[in-house]
Amino acid sequence: MIIDQEHAGIVMRAKTHPRQLGIPLSRWGRNLIACCPFHSPEETSLFFYDALGYWRYRCLQCGSEGDLVEFVMRSRFNGMDEPAARAEAVNFLGNLEPEHDLQEEHPWIKEIGGEKSKVLENFVRYCHWAACKSPSSAEFLAARGWSIGQAQLYGIGYYSGDPEPFVSFCMMSGIERHQISFYLDNLDAYHEPRITIPARNSKGLIHSVYGRVINENDSPHTYVSYASGPSDIPFNIQSDVTKPIVVEGFFDALTADLAGIPGVVSTMYQELTLSHLYKLKACGAESVTVILRREADRREQEYRIQKYLKMADRLNLKFKSIVLPKEETVDLVVRKNGADQLLSLVEKTETDTVHTHRRSMLLQDIKENFDTAMGCPPDVSVGYALNTFPKLTQEIDGIQSGCFYVSSKPFGLKTTLLSSLALDLIQSNPNLKLIYIALETPRRQIFDRLVAMLIGESVLTVRKQSEDEAVNQKILEATRDLMAFVRNNRLEIWDDQNGFDNIVLLQNLKEEIREHRNLVVVIDGIDHLKVADHADLSDIHERRSSVILDLYKALDIPMFLGGELIDSEKGLVGPRAYLRDSDAIYWLESKGGNMFLTVDSKRLGNNQLYQGTLSIDPASNRMQEEAELE
């Protein structure tokens, strides 16, 4: 029941606080907790919280809930009828002296906490009421381990995307439509159902309400803000916290707070900034611990943590950084292992300096490298399998992360080999995505080559209608298969474009790898890659090889590079940079009507990793290993 604003609201907001009720209270996250007097035996499960604009109570065991007037009614005047008990409770609370003398508020506080606060608090109350009626929000919260009762402690709610019911709700509180449009200025921009989460400043005033989409396939914007406001206030910020813990997600912060860990704030999936740290220091921070989820690009994440360390040094804040194991989050850690383990992890982590940070990251990488190795059984390939190259898969333990240079004699066969490997990788590994970058040929030729390889016909056959209807049907089915690879985000074919250089390539591939970690890149025609940096290197091959190494180190995925090498009496001869920097050289040579593939490496143990004979389909030119005679 929402308290009657006309009679008790002013008293409740200005003069009352749970500490004035005369019962033992303990701090629990941003809330207060006590023994519940309304069920037997009493348990420490009664929360006092200020999520809806004023203090309320809720027992997470027996479900008792209400505002402070109702708490006083039930605990002090439970022998009276409800109207008389309510009058006595309001009189009791009204006679209490405020904890502090009320002072004239700063105009900024008046503006934030006045009309805007009233609109946002009404939106939070409406969304919480809607959450209690919405099965989809209950299912979403339950999947994250939250009950509606727990969600109420933090004002978590549900917004359907239709503003009209909320407008009607506001009219009963004296709020007009133009006020809603002014303060909730993004309400009409997003119409998907979302979980709502109020954000407060350090004084406890709501400054924005965030919405998280329930079904992430419905919208490209997972998180939105319904009210424009400052974006650099850490979510769940509290005053007088000396050792705040900074996490990334909303539910990371909320779950930790629900478990009683004090001072856990979130950057709301934004990068930590100097402004975030300044606001934490203004609230009493002496040290800051940043807990991050493990990212695929460890190198970039390490550089970013070093930047955070420098920012903390500028503000004379002690700094700790923790990178969680792969696929772990603070939310999962606290739910699985409890608050004590997270607090122990923070306590045992050394305060960062540049040296200790590098050492802790190195120790984590070594442990994760061991765990990954021991998690792979002896009979399973570490890398991606090639069904039409079984011996190659066995000898090199699958296609693993690395930079592989592919060439051939005659030179044109390297594109045929790359196309055969690409098609095999897609067909053999259902979770893999392959990007084929054609820098030498138009991508329509790549389409024709792949379709021809799928049906075992020549490229010339698939470029026009056949007199044989069965062949036309095979072309149709293979084209559908090719389209299905693209439609399911498993294949992309990029060709050269104006302005397409290595910097653009890195940006595009970073975006791809964020969505699809199992990525393989084929660059056919590396000699034609436009290079936009490393101008300090005069040799063009050195420059191209250097930028490819930058790509490989940033992405840590398998990369095949098709380019030209020459076979001489002294062995393979070519640009020294490619021979030096590649993890392995794939060399295909045609001799006496047979084709021989060798894979050489000076980095991976033996110089020659693989040698085998390949067969080629006389029509489609698709290559595969020749079966060994038993």
pLDDT digits (tens, 9 = 90+) for 175-217: 888 889 898 988 888 888 999 999 888 888 888 999 998 877 6
Do residues 56 and 169 share a domain? no
Lowest mean pLDDT of 215-219, 460-464, 588-592, 626-630, name the range.
626-630
User: Distance between CA 294 and CA 273 in Å, rounded?
Assistant: 19
| C-alpha distances out from residue 133 to 80, 160, 197, 554, Å | 32, 11, 17, 47
Tell me the mean pLDDT in the region 274-295: 92
Do residues 142 and 74 share a domain? no
506, with CB counted inside 10 A (0-12, 13-18, 19+), is middle
Which of 359, 375, 391 is the last residue before a domain boundary?
375
Lowest mean pLDDT of 234-248, 362-376, 442-456, name the range.
362-376
380 located within any domain: no
Q: Which of 87-91, 236-240, 371-375 has the highest mean pLDDT?
A: 236-240
Which of 94, 119, 147 is the last residue before a domain boundary?
94
Asked whether the predicted pLDDT for residue 100 surpasses 80, the reply is no
Do residues 480 and 595 share a domain? yes
Do residues 294 and 315 share a domain? yes
pLDDT band at residue 303, thresholds of 50, 70 and 90? confident
Task: Order across the sheet with 157-159: list the strands.
Answer: 157-159, 194-200, 206-213, 223-225
Tell me the mean pLDDT in the region 12-32: 78
Note the pLDDT tens digit of each residue in 586-627. 999 998 888 999 999 876 655 888 999 999 999 999 999 987
Give the mean pLDDT of the chain. 85
The distance in angstroms from the start CA to the end CA of the chain is 82
Quick check: 373 and 358 in contact, CB under 8 A?
no
* pLDDT at site 576: 87
The total of structural domains in the chain comes to 4
Do residues 242 and 315 share a domain? yes
Tokens of 358: 């590098």
Do residues 165 and 66 share a domain? no
Look up the pTM and report it. 0.66
Which of 180, 203, 230 is the last residue before a domain boundary?
230
Domain housing 149: 109-230
Asked whether the predicted pLDDT for residue 170 surpasses 90, the reply is no
Asked whether the predicted pLDDT for residue 1 surpasses 80, the reply is no
* pLDDT at site 103: 44
Do residues 322 and 190 share a domain? no
101 located within any domain: no
What is the percent of the chain with per-residue pLDDT over 70, rounded to a whole number? 92
257: amino acid identity, one letter: D
Q: Which residue has the higher pLDDT, 267 or 88?
A: 267
Q: Which residue has the higher pLDDT, 495 or 245?
A: 245
Note the pLDDT tens digit of each residue in 493-550. 998 776 678 888 888 888 888 888 899 999 999 988 888 888 788 889 898 889 898 8
Quick check: 453 and 419 in contact, CB under 8 A?
yes
Q: What is the CATH number of the domain that holds 18?
A: 3.90.580.10
Q: What are residue 410's phi and psi, to 5 degrees?
A: -70, 160
